[in-house]
């Protein structure tokens, strides 16, 4: 028997009675588990095997395949089930994690318990409505990049090490993940569509998301204008570094609502 806690981030319905679950765990990355009979309303495993259920699972390993034996729900995100836009954002985050686990990021995802904590915090803020959906999306995108090895270099200008551009704007080069003050940028580069100009407030926000302690990275509020700029940067940064394209279906669906 193997015991662990995790959140269900993917479900394939196999037949009338069975489910194939993808569960994001703390130390084992994403595990694939077959659950017999979980769809029956009377099944004791039913509540823990719904999408985005956070639960304790006990599984059997039979020749390398994992079968669910028992489970106990730890938290069910109720509101997600009633709001399509909120649900579609949760699905987007889950699909990013599944993509991550199926590609080169897998080792870093498996060994870092903070990935599960990030997903749980993101679900909590989506579900509770305590943060706007665009803010939840941006924090998830930037923080995930930081956790899987794509932390941008945010300390200061890469050339002259200036911390904040003397309260002027700084350039953020999303492709290389570096900052440049205006002067160094003008001397070295021509602007492309993956370079962004950051106001001091926007730079402060990005630093907060990427560099704060685990308890704090959702603890801020920003204006709608800054949020709009942040949304573009966080999405561009994630997609560039994970080699995703803008036709990623969960993103298209979220944006269509
Ligand atoms: Zn500089």
Beta-strand pair 2-13/54-62: antiparallel
Q: What is the whole-number distance in angstroms between the Cα of residue 174 and the centre of ligand 1?
A: 16
Spatial distance between the Cα atoms of 206 and 198, rounded to a whole number of angstroms: 9
Write down all domains in the chain, each with its CATH number in brackets: 2-75 (2.40.50.140), 83-151+199-256 (1.20.1440)
Q: What is the whole-number distance in angstroms between the Cα of residue 7 and the centre of ligand 1?
A: 43
Q: What is the pLDDT of residue 165?
A: 63
* Beta-carbon count within 10 A of 55 CB: 21
Average pLDDT per consecutive 10 residues, the chain (257 residues; last block may be shorter): 95 83 92 83 81 96 92 93 95 95 67 91 96 97 94 94 80 95 89 91 96 93 96 97 91 95
DSSP string, 30-69: EEEEEETTTTSTT-TTTGGGSTT-EEEEEEEEETTEEEEE
For residue 73, what are the β-bridge partners? 55
Spatial distance between the Cα atoms of 144 and 142, rounded to a whole number of angstroms: 5
Q: What is the whole-number distance in angstroms between the Cα of residue 213 and the centre of ligand 1?
A: 27
Using the structure block, give the residue that is written with the tokens 């870093």: 108
The answer to whether 163 touches 203, Cβ cutoff 8 Å, is no
Q: What is the whole-number distance in angstroms between the Cα of residue 202 and the centre of ligand 1?
A: 18
Q: What is the whole-number distance in angstroms between the Cα of residue 153 and the centre of ligand 1?
A: 13
For 196, the token pair is 């962004």
Q: How distant, in Å, are the alpha carbons of 1, 69, 139, 165, 208 from that of 214?
A: 31, 33, 12, 27, 11
Q: What is the whole-number distance in angstroms between the Cα of residue 87 and the centre of ligand 1?
A: 42
Q: What is the whole-number distance in angstroms between the Cα of residue 189 and the centre of ligand 1?
A: 12
Q: How distant, in Å, are the alpha carbons of 9, 189, 221, 229 from that of 205?
A: 28, 25, 9, 11
């Amino acid at each position: 028997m193997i015991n662990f806690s995790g959140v269900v981030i993917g479900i394939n319905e196999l037949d009338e009675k069975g489910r194939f679950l993808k569960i994001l765990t703390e130390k084992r990355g994403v595990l694939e588990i077959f659950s017999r009979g979980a769809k029956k309303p009377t099944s004791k495993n039913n509540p823990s095997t719904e999408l985005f259920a956070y639960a304790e699972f006990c599984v059997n390993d039979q020749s390398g395949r994992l079968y669910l034996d028992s489970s106990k729900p730890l938290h069910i995100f109720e509101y997600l089930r009633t709001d399509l836009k909120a649900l579609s954002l949760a699905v987007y985050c889950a699909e990013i994690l599944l993509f991550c686990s199926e590609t080169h990021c897998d080792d870093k995802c498996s060994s870092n318990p903070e990935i599960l904590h990030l997903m749980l915090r993101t679900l909590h803020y989506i579900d509770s409505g305590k943060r706007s959906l665009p803010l939840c999306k941006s924090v998830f995108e930037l923080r995930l990049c930081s956790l899987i090895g794509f932390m941008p270099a945010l300390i200061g200008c890469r050339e002259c090490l200036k911390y904040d551009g003397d309260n002027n704007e700084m350039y953020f080069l999303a492709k290389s993940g570096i900052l440049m003050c205006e002067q160094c940028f003008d001397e070295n580069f021509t602007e492309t569509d993956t370079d962004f100009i950051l106001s001091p407030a926007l730079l402060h926000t990005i630093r907060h998301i990427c560099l704060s302690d685990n308890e704090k990275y959702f603890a801020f509020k920003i204006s709608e204008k800054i949020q709009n700029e942040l949304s573009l940067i966080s999405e561009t940064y994630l997609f560039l570094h994970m080699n995703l394209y803008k036709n990623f279906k969960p993103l298209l669906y979220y944006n269509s609502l």
